[in-house]
Amino acid sequence: MVKKWNPLNIGYTKTLIFLLVVWGFFFFGIGAFIGSFFNNAYLNKFPEMVPTDKILIVAPHIDDEIISSGGLIQKAILMGAKVRIVYITNGDNNVNVVIEEDKRLRINALDFISLGEQRMQEGRNAGKALGLEEKNLDFLGYPDKGLAQLFSNYYSINKKYPAKGTKFTFNPYNGTYRKNQDYNGENLFNDLSAILDEYKPTILIVPHMSDIHPDHKSTFRFIEKYLLEKQVKNSRVWMYLVHYKNFPADKSISTNKLLYPPSNLFHQGNWYSLELEQNEIQKKYLAMEATKSQLLKMPFLDIRRFVRRNELFELYELN
């Protein structure tokens, strides 16, 4: 007699429980313990900043500066160092946020402009929470989710890239670095070059070269182009990671845990950890909450999962 399969069979139940445990172990980041154990031994301590430091943080979108460097900004200000943030885009091409804000499915270009203006104000509010003044912030107003096109297909000064959300081919925002600037790669490169030449940062913090978001990767390429053409030697260049497969491995919001680099991006000696004090963690959390439009309460999208006991940077070696 053939025994019928029973979903309540003890063997089946044990197997199901085992698979659920394994899935939870890796999906929710408990599995990060394994990678953390090995990576921890190789994380260097981020160098001390000094009062004469001039720190420039380049953020593709408004909130990347908090995610990557919210604690570093506070430490630098306390030290007496100068801090300046350059926002490449206003993060205005986000259909889901526009629909959520307006509560309607039919949206137009003006809705995206409204989001861009809202995010600029959120950037100011977040900066204030971290101790920055508005004069420390530069909004360039280039097209969100369009930076890869600017670097490749629309680089020439004679070209004008049509932004997907706002439909503008130039920067329409008041309060930006150069209003009415045409959307092309050469203009963006010239704006970045002008800021870098004038400010002369001793510490430059930029998106990671391996970040999978096209805006982040392209921002790095614009900065790298500047560093190579100008043959910069007197700055320390640090890369921060935001978008990468299963990063951070632990998707929970837990400020008492450490952040570790993805194992397949880990290079011995290049990753550095900046440990944060409890008050710095709290201020970073408040700064993130100031970016209200970005607080999507989903495990993969909630930016508050980046509020940890430390911040991670990889040193970019200048040739």
- Residue 15 located in a structural domain: no
78-92, 94-108, 238-252, 267-281: lowest mean pLDDT where? 94-108
State the pLDDT at residue 204.
98
Give the model confidence (pLDDT) of 124-144 as tens digits: 999 999 999 999 999 999 999
Is residue 22 assigned to a domain? no
b/e code 262-291 from CB counts within 10 Å (16+ = b): beebbeeebbbbbebeeebbebbbbbbbbb
Residue 193 lies in a domain: yes
* pLDDT on residue 3: 47
Give the tens place of pLDDT for each residue, 140-185.
999 999 999 999 999 999 999 999 999 999 999 999 999 999 999 9
Tell me the pLDDT tens digit for each residue of 70-115: 999 999 999 999 999 999 999 998 766 544 555 444 567 888 999 9
Asked if residue 228 belongs to a domain, the reply is yes
Q: Is the pTM of this model over 0.75?
A: yes
Q: Does residue 6 form part of some domain?
A: no
Tell whether 9 is covered by a domain. no
Domain holding 239, by residue range, is: 51-316
> Which three-class secondary structure state does DSSP give residue 295?
coil
Structural domain count of the chain: 1
Residue 60 belongs to domain with CATH number: 3.40.50.10320
Are the C-beta atoms of residues 293 and 101 closer than 8 Å to each other?
yes
The pLDDT value given to residue 28? 44
DSSP 32-59: HHHHHHHHHTTPEEPPPP-TT-EEEEEE
- Residue 105 burial (CB count, 10 A): 7
Task: Kindly tell me if the per-residue pLDDT of 118 is higher than 70.
Answer: yes
Q: Does the structure show a pLDDT above 60 at 2?
A: no
The SS3 call for residue 79 is helix
Q: Beta strand pairing status for 44-45 and 271-275?
A: parallel
Cα 124 to the chain's mean position, in Å? 16
Give the number of residues written for the chain. 319
Q: How far is Cα 81 from Cα 202, in angstroms, rounded to an integer?
A: 10
Write out the E strands in 82-197: 82-89, 137-142
For residues 14-21, give the mean pLDDT.
Answer: 50
Rounded to an integer, what distance in angstroms lies between the CA atom of residue 126 and that of residue 67?
A: 11
18 within domain boundaries: no
Burial class (CB in 10 A: 0-12, 13-18, 19+), 37: exposed
User: Does some domain include residue 137?
Assistant: yes
**Residue for token digits 């600017």?**
150
Q: Which of 150, 137, 131, 133 is nearest to 86 (CA)?
A: 137
DSSP string, 163-192: -TTT--SB---TTSTTTT-B-SHHHHHHHH
Mean pLDDT of the chain: 86
